[in-house]
Amino acid sequence: MVESILKAKPLPPTQFGIRRSLILPPGRYVWNRPLNDPKNVNSVIEYSLFVGEQTDKKLKNLLTLFSQLTEE
């Protein structure tokens, strides 16, 4: 129903997403930000991994599913 309403069609190859991965050299990277609520002292660690090529659709779908399962 959504596709028929929006008249969806495949993207041409020139409009596929640009690869946005960045491989950082080994080291420790810290970015400090002031807290909106100083009483809330929760912190977070963001960990990025490079896993295969973006053109591997099966791997990309599995990683998207894994990402959704582990988001919380």
Ramachandran class of 7: left when φ > 0, alpha when ψ lies in -120 to 50, beta otherwise: left
Number of CB atoms found within 10 A of residue 71's CB: 6
Q: Which amino acid is at 38?
A: P
**pLDDT tens-place string over residues 17-68:** 666 667 778 887 777 777 777 787 776 766 777 777 778 889 889 888 888 8
Q: Distance (Å, rounded) from C-alpha 4 to C-alpha 22?
A: 37
What pLDDT was estimated at residue 55? 82
Asked whether the whole model's pTM tops 0.85, one would answer no
Q: Distance (Å, rounded) from C-alpha 72 to C-alpha 37?
A: 21
**pLDDT tens-place string over residues 11-25:** 777 777 666 667 778
